[in-house]
Structure 1
Amino acid sequence: MIKNEKIKAAEVNVTGVNGEALGVMATSEALKLAKELGVDLVCTSLYSSPPPCTLISSGKAKEAKQQEKKATRPAKIKEIRLTASIEEHDYETKKNQAQRILEGGDSVQFVVKMSGKEGPKAKELLEELLRDLKGIGQKKTGIQVSGKQAAVQVDPV
């Protein structure tokens, strides 16, 4: 995002604060107008001539940059490991950890390690986690029980 004096083009196509087209004008003139209104002149694309620029308040420009940064970051899948015979306190800790991850915009992969005939117990544990996280997460995959582990992936809502 290029703004104010960093815009090197001689002329820019300016859009006003409320979205109205102000037309093509010299960059110095556009900067003068931006200073008068107390806003920033932000270049939205460098691929056209003259480059389109918008008059945006400083707070909105920063917000737009953060949104752009957030949108470009791919969602990660974080893995949380549990055992089928987990105690209540440990369960709460893992659930809270998953909530923080989901609220941060990343996915969670729950993996329950099993030994012996703990398959139904592991599946029940994952179903309970899915019920508890229902408001902030939804399951992407079904509960997969295979060999010595059971797994499910939960995506943020």
Structure 2
Amino acid sequence: MKKILLLFLILIFGIGFAQKVKKAEKVKDKFESRQPQDMSVPPPPVTAFPAQYPGGNKAFIDNVKKNLNKDALKNLSKDLKTKIILKVSSDGTILNVSTYGDNEAFNTEVKKAAEKTTSKVKWEAGKNSKGEKVIDIVNLPFKYLNT
């Protein structure tokens, strides 16, 4: 009888003091709750047609690989990765080249190669939904297998 009474009390306390489970919060909701929104600042422009290298962005990556100084990369690890971020003006010229990755020496070499690749080349500018040419940011992953 004591065991049944004890089991019953444990069950009652378990139900009575159970925690309520909150509905799963979305990442967007968490971000917006932490960041106050200033309604006087317009949202960033949406680029409907992103900027393109002549011949496509794959051709740009291939040209960067051709322009890499392979002698400077010999002492680095085998599998190298970085991101090339380009700011393309509305007339197609490159305003800025940045690289972000774990290996700083590799980032420097890729940045030099990307600047050499884009030095005399006009890109096809990005366009908004109205067809107007706009400044665009192009973010391209870059991988290099060191042999």
What TM-score bracket applies, with the shorter chain setting the length?
Answer: under 0.3
TM-score normalised by the chain length of structure 2: 0.21
Which one has a bigger Cα radius of gyration?
2
TM-score by length of 1: 0.20
The structure richer in strand per residue is 1
Q: Which has the higher contact order (CA 8 A, sep 6+)?
A: 2
Q: Which one has a larger percent helix, Structure 1 or Structure 2?
A: 1
